[in-house]
């Protein structure tokens, strides 16, 4: 009877470890997929920042020529704000990448690695949402 209990216990432990390692690999894959979706957006952010900077220079030129008004001032403030949001998105991505330690996490106990990758997934999803929102707002503004 003891041998049967021991065999069942070992089988359960081995099978459980395999499932935990699979979960770690699955979560790491999800994290990296989200990262890979967002990373190319950094080029788009740089392009939009340049376009917003040109828009700000245009608005400043109009003001220097004596053309003033609340609309111009509001438009300039909006362009500066959007440029700042794009900067923040870029900094969030760079910060996340600098702090990401996937290789080290895979060396942890499975339960700790799972917790790490779940946390990283939450972080990179937030970076993605903020990035997409700032890009969409900047595009909408520039299309006017």
C-alpha dihedral (68, 73, 74, 77), degrees to nearest 10:
160
pLDDT score at 14: 47
What confidence tens digit (pLDDT) does each residue in 99-119 have? 999 999 999 999 999 999 999
Q: In angstroms, how far is the first alpha carbon of the chain from the final one? A: 79
What confidence tens digit (pLDDT) does each residue in 66-82 have? 666 778 889 999 999 99
Q: Which of 79, 89, 90, 91 is nearest to 53 (CA)?
A: 79
Q: Within the chain, what is the greatest distance between any pair of CA atoms? A: 95
């Amino acid at each position: 009877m003891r041998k049967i209990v021991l065999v069942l216990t070992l089988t359960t432990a081995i099978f459980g470890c395999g499932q935990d390692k699979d979960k770690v690999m699955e979560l790491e894959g999800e994290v990296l997929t989200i990262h890979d979706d967002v990373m190319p957006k950094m080029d788009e952010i740089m392009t939009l920042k340049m376009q917003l900077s040109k828009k700000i220079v245009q608005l400043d030129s109009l003001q220097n020529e004596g053309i003033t008004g609340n609309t111009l001032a509001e438009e300039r403030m909006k362009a500066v704000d959007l440029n700042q949001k794009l900067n923040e998105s870029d900094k969030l991505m760079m910060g996340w990448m600098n702090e990401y330690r996937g290789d080290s996490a895979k060396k942890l106990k499975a339960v700790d690695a799972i917790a790490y990758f779940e946390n990283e997934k939450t972080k990179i999803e937030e970076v993605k949402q903020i990035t997409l929102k700032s890009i969409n707002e900047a595009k909408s503004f520039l299309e006017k």
